[in-house]
Chains A and B, each alone.
Chain A
Amino acid sequence: MRWFLLCLLLLAVPAYAVQPDEILSDAKLEQRARDLSTGLRCLVCQNQSIDESDAPLAKDLRILIREHLTKGDSDAEIRDFVVARYGEFVLLKPRLTPHTAILWATPFLIILAGFIVILRRRKNSGVPAESALSAEEQKALRDLAS
């Protein structure tokens, strides 16, 4: 969010994200445009999607996306088009490639590793001696409980 502030300070263009004149009359197309926009990065503002951004470049991109949508392009086609123009950097959700495999896999590998460690520890420790009660203790416990 603070990126947004920087953006605001640098540009000092008081305008807010999607403007009424940009909105498509077809609600379904407009929703797709919004979904696409939230996944594309505003290149001037660094950490903000073009949907939230007030930068002129973001506005141009929003309009461009809507033009492509009205022409009947699919979401994937539009994304490819924007990436071809601005590079992978523009995607807020990085695609799964050999270079991003670590990024996507690590959180889940940690869970997997955690479970393996927990299971192995259990095997190694075996049946804990301290939890086994002798027959006498069992009886004493029953007496206490009753």
Chain B
Amino acid sequence: MIAEIGHFALILALAVAAFQTVVPLIGAERGNRQMIAAAVPATLIQLVLVYVAFAALTHAYLISDFSVRNVFENSHSAKPLLYKISGVWGNHEGSMLLWVFILASFGGAVAVFGDNLPPTLKARVLAVQGSIGFAFLLFIVVASNPFARLNPVPIEGNGLNPVLQDPALAFHPPFLYAGYVGLSVAFSFAIAALIDGKVDAAWARWVRPWTLAAWMFLTIGISMGSWWAYYELGWGGWWFWDPVENASFMPWLVATALLHSAIVVEKRNALKVWTVLLSILAFSLSLLGTFLVRSGVLTSVHAFAVDPARGIFILGILCFFIGGALTLFAWRAPALKAGGFFSPISREGGLVLNNLFLCAACASVLIGTLYPLALETVTGEKISVGPPYFNLTFGPIMLPLLLLVPIGALLSWKRADLFAVLQRLWIAAALAIGLGVLLLVATQRGPWLAPFGMALGAWLIFGSLADLANRIALFRAPIGTSWSRLVGLPRSSLGMTAAHAGLGLMIIGIIAITLWKVEHIVAMKPGERADVGVYAVQFVAETPLTGENYTGRAGQFRIFRGESEIATVVSEKREFKPMGTPTTEVGLHQTLAGDVYVVMGDKTADGARVVRLYFNPLVSLIWLGALIMFFGGALSLTDRRYRVGAPKRKLTPAGVPAE
């Protein structure tokens, strides 16, 4: 019964979404107040209906209702509660429902928090949101119903893929989707602005917080995925340039560009056409990501859909929204007035370069991901595009961008004095270069790229801090003055400093694990010791293991530094019910300086265990950096100008007072 309520709510939501798309759009065109005012209740009703559907499916998972096909195929009664919940979106139908759930939430947020938006703009934004909701609800209702029943009712379910039974992986899809789908708000604002024919500082100020929120979710979602890969897959890799990863990375790159270009629109009323285009592209890449992952074009665990009809449906949605948006852009963009001239050496100029490099980097990821598909379709020739390609294209493109970050952040608007900026950065530059030289001398035999990368990361960190120190007159004024200045700084500027420094930390972590990783693969018997880097690892014993829905073997390992024992870790090999699918749990001893990473492998012929030992220096900085970038975003989101609200536009004659 509850499943049927969910199904019915979805169909109602579809109808409401149609209303939400058509009525406010016509109302905004004709200046009809009632039709405009219909946008908000329609959005909220759609939200409630989608929530009901989502709750119904969650309920079916919680009570293990195997009469629902989706639950039968993806759940098992012995599964821990946590994975019963995450099972809701750990499959094709459920993940699409999560998609519209988040879309409806963002729509609702605009409806509720968008009080200061001009009513016509708000109506158009909500209408575009409604149209996206309509397309995906139609897809769910027609081709991907999560509430289909089974008769006769099976006694037990098939279980969730055991590699998905991990907290970080279970909860990274909601974050990723919140990022993907959050970009729909920027998209809707761009479409509304194109219909409206007006983009100004106020528009940018409304768009930016939504983009920032989406960017923050993407940042967390991507880093959770990579953190999971690092400790779960068991060979210490953290990023694989896998098409599914790329699908989430591309929107992140363009969203990052959009965040920066929206500042130019807001502060200087320039780059308007470009920013509108970026808003469209960012969400288009989200749609592309959804298509790549959900259509089965790339056959991986994430591509659950084997049915090509679904792929074609999503492709249709993709073509409609991207094609439609770009056509509208080509038609209406010339009407947007350009404004705000600036010299090439200025904050604006720096942000243009930022956008150029980020977009080129995104293009390298895009073409690297799609080229093998395209080439095979056109010529039948099969090639592979793997990590070496991305290292050779993405890497060199990011390099100048990273070098320019501290400089760009210090340039003044309109026209800047490059020499003065460099003067303010010389200490940071000297520290970074000093560190590089020191490392070069210390690691003569090591890869030369490593000291260079470390210096680059240090340059980003010191450069950001130098800017901050300058602003608060650190060491030049009494410490009390500096403190009150620090508190008085706009939070968006503190957020920028944090995000850029976080990026620097991340670079250091990436370079360290890539170039300084120590590996030791060895066959060990209980009691034996092996070295890895400055550490030694002793294989103590192995014991049988029984979990809630798996059995296996656990290996105990002692980690020594010199002669003193510093930690004990356990590496497990598990076999999951009901299929006996094997997984590995890594024994991980984490410190800021680096991780000792122990993986127990197979038995060899003479009864020893193959053990893979790694020392991954500074690797935590990758995720620490991502976390700091996230908090930088959060800090910026609480900036006074968003809390106080955007400056009111001049009231249009047809203006409706906000309620």
Q: A residues engaging B (CB < 8 A)?
A: 1-6, 8-9, 12, 14-21, 23, 38-39, 41, 46-49, 52, 87-94, 99-100, 102-104, 106-108, 110-111, 114-115, 118, 122, 125, 128, 130-131
Bound Cα distance from A55 to B394, whole angstroms? 29
- The answer on a CB contact under 8 Å between B233 and A4 is yes
- The answer on a CB contact under 8 Å between A107 and B367 is yes
Q: Which residue on B lies nearest to A49, using beta carbons? A: B386
Residues of chain A within 8 A of B161, CB atoms compared: 5, 9
Residues of chain A within 8 A of B363, CB atoms compared: 106-107, 110
11 new A-B contacts at CB < 8 Å, known A3-B300, A41-B386, A106-B364 = A1-B242, A5-B301, A6-B300, A12-B580, A14-B602, A16-B610, A20-B604, A47-B240, A49-B387, A107-B393, A122-B344
- Could you mark each residue 346-365 of chain B with 1 if its beta carbon is under 8 Å from any beta carbon of chain A, else 0? 00000010001101110110
- The answer on a CB contact under 8 Å between B521 and A19 is yes
- The answer on a CB contact under 8 Å between A47 and B356 is no
Knowing A52-B237, A99-B379, A99-B381, the reply to whether A110 touches B359 (Cβ < 8 A) is yes
Residues of chain A within 8 A of B392, CB atoms compared: 93
B582 interface residue (CB < 8 Å to A): yes
Residues of chain B within 8 A of A114, CB atoms compared: 356, 359-360
Bound Cα distance from A91 to B372, whole angstroms? 12
Query: Closest 3 interchain pairs by CB?
Result: A92-B386, A128-B341, A93-B388
Residues of chain B within 8 A of A46, CB atoms compared: 299-300
Q: Which residue on A lies nearest to B393, using beta carbons? A: A107
- The answer on a CB contact under 8 Å between B386 and A93 is yes
Knowing A3-B242, A5-B301, A103-B367, the reply to whether A94 touches B384 (Cβ < 8 A) is yes
B109 interface residue (CB < 8 Å to A): no
- The answer on a CB contact under 8 Å between A16 and B383 is no
- Could you mark each residue 486-523 of chain B with 1 if its beta carbon is under 8 Å from any beta carbon of chain A, else 0? 00000000000000000000000000000000000111
- The answer on a CB contact under 8 Å between B522 and A20 is yes
B389 interface residue (CB < 8 Å to A): yes
Q: Which residue on A lies nearest to B611, using beta carbons? A: A20
Q: Which residue on A lies nearest to B234, using beta carbons? A: A16
Bound Cα distance from A16 to B603, whole angstroms? 11
Q: B residues engaging A (CB < 8 A)?
A: 161, 163, 229, 233-235, 237, 240, 242-245, 299-302, 341, 344, 352, 356-357, 359-361, 363-364, 367-368, 371, 375, 379, 381-389, 392-394, 397, 414-415, 521-523, 573, 580-584, 599, 601-602, 604, 610, 612
Bound Cα distance from A66 to B183, whole angstroms? 49
- The answer on a CB contact under 8 Å between A99 and B375 is yes
Bound Cα distance from A106 to B73, whole angstroms? 43
Knowing A49-B386, A94-B384, the reply to whether A12 touches B582 (Cβ < 8 A) is yes
Bound Cα distance from A55 to B352, whole angstroms? 47
Residues of chain B within 8 A of A23, CB atoms compared: 521
Knowing A2-B244, A39-B388, A88-B381, the reply to whether A118 touches B352 (Cβ < 8 A) is yes
Knowing A16-B234, A93-B386, A103-B368, the reply to whether A111 touches B397 (Cβ < 8 A) is yes
Knowing A12-B581, A100-B383, A131-B341, the reply to whether A118 touches B521 (Cβ < 8 A) is no
- Could you say which of B385, B415, B580 has the most chain A C-beta atoms within 10 Å of its C-beta? B385
Residues of chain A within 8 A of B599, CB atoms compared: 16
Smallest CB separation, A71 vs chain B (Å): 23
Residues of chain A within 8 A of B584, CB atoms compared: 14, 16
Smallest CB separation, B546 vs chain A (Å): 18
Bound Cα distance from A115 to B521, whole angstroms? 48
Q: Which residue on B lies nearest to A131, using beta carbons? A: B341
Q: Which residue on A lies nearest to B342, using beta carbons? A: A128
Bound Cα distance from A22 to B429, whole angstroms? 46
Knowing A9-B161, A23-B521, A107-B361, the reply to whether A115 touches B601 (Cβ < 8 A) is no
- Could you say which of B299, B300, B393, B580 has the most chain A C-beta atoms within 10 Å of its C-beta? B300
Q: Which residue on A lies nearest to B339, using beta carbons? A: A130
- Could you say which of A2, A18, A46, A87 has the most chain B C-beta atoms within 10 Å of its C-beta? A2
- The answer on a CB contact under 8 Å between B301 and A6 is yes
Bound Cα distance from A111 to B612, whole angstroms? 42
Residues of chain B within 8 A of A88, CB atoms compared: 381-384
Residues of chain B within 8 A of A90, CB atoms compared: 384
Smallest CB separation, B550 vs chain A (Å): 13
Residues of chain B within 8 A of A125, CB atoms compared: 341
Bound Cα distance from A1 to B237, whole angstroms? 9
Residues of chain B within 8 A of A18, CB atoms compared: 521
Residues of chain A within 8 A of B521, CB atoms compared: 18-20, 23
What are 15 A-B pairs at a CB distance below 8 A?
A: A8-B581, A9-B581, A16-B234, A20-B523, A49-B387, A88-B381, A92-B388, A99-B383, A103-B367, A104-B393, A111-B360, A115-B356, A118-B352, A125-B341, A131-B415
Bound Cα distance from A16 to B352, whole angstroms? 46
Of A52, A92, A118, which is within 8 A of B356 by CB? A118
Bound Cα distance from A90 to B383, whole angstroms? 7
Bound Cα distance from A46 to B300, whole angstroms? 9
Knowing A15-B602, A16-B235, the reply to whether A91 touches B383 (Cβ < 8 A) is yes
Bound Cα distance from A115 to B353, whole angstroms? 9
Smallest CB separation, B239 vs chain A (Å): 8
Bound Cα distance from A103 to B233, whole angstroms? 30
- The answer on a CB contact under 8 Å between A52 and B382 is no
Q: Which residue on A lies nearest to B605, using beta carbons? A: A21
Residues of chain B within 8 A of A19, CB atoms compared: 521, 601, 610
